[in-house]
Amino acid sequence: MGPDMLTELSIENFALVEKLRLQFAPGLNILTGETGAGKSILMDALNLVLGERMGAESVRHGADRARVEAVFSVECASGRLREAMEAAGVEAEDGLLLLTRDLAAAGKSTARINGRPATMGMLKAIGDALVDIHGQHEHQSLLAVERHADILDAWCGPETLTLKAAVAEAHARAQEAARELAALQQDARERARTLDLLQFQRDEIDTAAPKPEEDEELQAERLRLASAEKLYEAASGAYAALHGGAAGRGGVESGGALDGLTTAVAEIDHAAKLDERLEPLLESLQNALYAAEEAARDVRAYRDEVEFNPDRLEEIEARLDVLRTLKRKYGDTLEEVLRYRDEIEARLTTLENAEERIAELTVLSERTRTELEARAAKLTAARKKAAGPFAAAVAKELADLAMLQTRFSVAVEPHPVGAKGADHVEFLLSPNPGEPLKPLARIASGGEISRVMLAMKSVLARIEAVPTLVFDEIDTGIGGRTGMVLADKLATLAGNAQILCITHLPQIAARGSAHLYIEKRVDKGRTAVAVTPLESEGRVQEIARMLGGTRLTDTVLQHAREMLQPA
């Protein structure tokens, strides 16, 4: 599949775009067109699919919804991208990652990753790891001050990164010790109240001493005792039915089941002596008689054992009432009540040993805090040592990008110690002579910010790059020799990352490995944005337009061919 990169962008019913499908190549992808041709719309669409917020006004007039899909090759996914994918529970499919964003005209927005629903947070985390957009948009990682320390640390190299990891580990241990200590150092009176409550609950459960499923067994016994009269009557009736009376064979009184069966056996026994075919029937009747006699004995035994015990019934009711009280307070079942009792015991042990544990944690907290501060101090020293050389390297690159008078500095100021150390790291810039250094995030010019990023990307060779970099009109206000330098730097950077560059400079456009021409067209009374891939002569024509405007003379066309020849 090749390197990690954006391979395809599909846009449907977004702003002036009805339907577009753009394909991108590795290296430097150039996007050109007249001013107002709609290049910013493509950047907005890319921002949308990367998780940025946009309103329903972005949906093309008359459409129900807009959809943007971006396909990325991620076979080499590592670092931030891998972490973001793991956090979202996402895996590449055949080395591809598909991000989809739908924006309804009613205002609702939905996202999917590889066809599965995703939150905006998941989409943005993965999008930030895939694409950096530098220019007139908000999707600019360089302006996120919290990342400046990460950038400086990565430039410092593995030793500083190892030290930074050690600071994070010490901070985690110090935080854990401090949290436990704070929990135990609660108000002594509150701890005493909690102890009293837990001891009362434990004693209440222990006094009752419930057993698992005891309530179910008692309820069954209560039902039997409460129904003793009915059970006795039923057993008596069954026994009477087996031993009733009526006249049978030979004048013997019968009428009960046993008497009837006895008569039937005698009758068939007599008949079987005359017809041997009745012998199987006789055997069946004899078996039935034996079974009835056994049943009669069992019924009588059950009847005689039926218990009439009001005292026991009252005792069961009282016990069930105790168990109901326990379940109402501590759990839906007696098993849950007993589990809660075990939890009480553990909490009591912790609280009763609080003073001893507080002493231990106080020592541990001080030790871990001291260790954290020592490691953070080493990290601070490494950052301060690297700040000057890093700033000088960036300033040198800026000088080549028509920012010769620009000053660039890295401020490393004290900050409350945390997981990333005890420093507030921020990049400062002074674009013009005589102006003070200001935080980079306050620089108004998108072109300046983009050139700073390009300079920094050229310096940060050891940082794991975001796969795709987008530069939106970073050539603002420059031309001539500086334009050539800028083109060279973009081409060099494109050897390590995919670049999408919106430009007005022919020097940059000529260095592209792929070239897309953007224009607005009117079809059936409606304006739409169209994108055309340019090849050979088409590129010559566009470079010539960028060189000489509307007058494409032979001289301008020849100049365009000469510019394209090295590429």
Report the alpha-carbon distance of residue 427 to residue 151 in Å, rounded: 10
Confidence of residue 395 (pLDDT cuts 50, 70, 90): very high
| pLDDT above 60: residue 461 | no
Residue 70 backbone dihedrals phi, psi, to 5 degrees: -125, 130
Contact 417, 171 (CB under 8 A): yes
**Which neighbouring-strand residues pair with 133?**
470
Contact 164, 149 (CB under 8 A): no
CB contact set of 406 (below 8 Å; sequence gap of 6+): 395, 398, 399, 429, 430, 431, 432, 448
Residue 327 backbone dihedrals phi, psi, to 5 degrees: -70, -35
Q: What is the pLDDT of residue 462?
A: 54
Q: Is 114 left (phi over 0), alpha (psi -120 to 50) or beta?
A: left
Classified as helix, coil or strand, 546 is helix
Residue 14 backbone dihedrals phi, psi, to 5 degrees: -115, 120
Contact 17, 484 (CB under 8 A): no
Residue 427 backbone dihedrals phi, psi, to 5 degrees: -85, 135
Report the alpha-carbon distance of residue 79 to residue 464 in Å, rounded: 7
Most distant pair of Cα atoms in the chain: their distance:
142
Report the alpha-carbon distance of residue 505 to residue 177 in Å, rounded: 59
Report the alpha-carbon distance of residue 8 to residue 438 in Å, rounded: 38
CB contact set of 276 (below 8 Å; sequence gap of 6+): none
Beta strand spans in 107-168 (E) = 109-113, 116-118, 131-134
Q: Which residue has the higher pLDDT, 154 or 142?
A: 154
Hey, how many other C-beta atoms are within 10 angstroms of the C-beta on 160?
20
Classified as helix, coil or strand, 254 is coil
**Which neighbouring-strand residues pair with 529?**
520
How is residue 187 annotated by DSSP?
Answer: -
Q: pLDDT digits over 330-342, tens only?
A: 988 999 999 999 9
Cα three-residue angle 115-116-120, rounded to 5 degrees: 110
Confidence of residue 445 (pLDDT cuts 50, 70, 90): low
Handedness of CA 158, 159, 164, 166 (dihedral sign): positive
Report the alpha-carbon distance of residue 95 to residue 88 in Å, rounded: 17
Q: What is the pLDDT of residue 387?
A: 95
DSSP-derived pairing of the beta strands 116-118 and 109-113: antiparallel
Confidence of residue 72 (pLDDT cuts 50, 70, 90): very high
Determine which of 38-52, 249-263, 468-482 has the lowest per-residue pLDDT on average. 249-263
Report the alpha-carbon distance of residue 252 to residue 262 in Å, rounded: 10
Average confidence (pLDDT) over 503-508: 90
Residues of the chain above pLDDT 90, percent:
37
Confidence of residue 251 (pLDDT cuts 50, 70, 90): very low
Report the alpha-carbon distance of residue 12 to residue 103 in Å, rounded: 10
Instruction: Quote the tokens at residue 295.
Output: 């049943």
Please report where in the chains the tokens 């260790």 appear, as a residue: 371
| pLDDT above 90: residue 129 | no
| pLDDT above 80: residue 248 | no
Q: Is 463 left (phi over 0), alpha (psi -120 to 50) or beta?
A: beta
Contact 482, 501 (CB under 8 A): no
CB contact set of 298 (below 8 Å; sequence gap of 6+): none
Cα-trace Rg, the chain: 43
Average confidence (pLDDT) over 383-395: 94
Q: What is the pLDDT of residue 547?
A: 87
Of 166, 170, 183, 172, the residue nearest 361 (C-alpha): 183
Confidence (pTM): 0.60
Residue ranges per structural domain of the chain: 214-341
Classified as helix, coil or strand, 29 is strand
Q: pLDDT digits over 292-343, tens only?
A: 888 888 888 888 778 788 888 888 889 999 999 999 999 889 999 999 999 9
Q: Which residue has the higher pLDDT, 396 or 306?
A: 396
Q: Is 288 exposed, middle or buried (0-12, 13-18, 19+ CB in 10 A)?
A: middle
Q: What is the pLDDT of residue 137?
A: 45
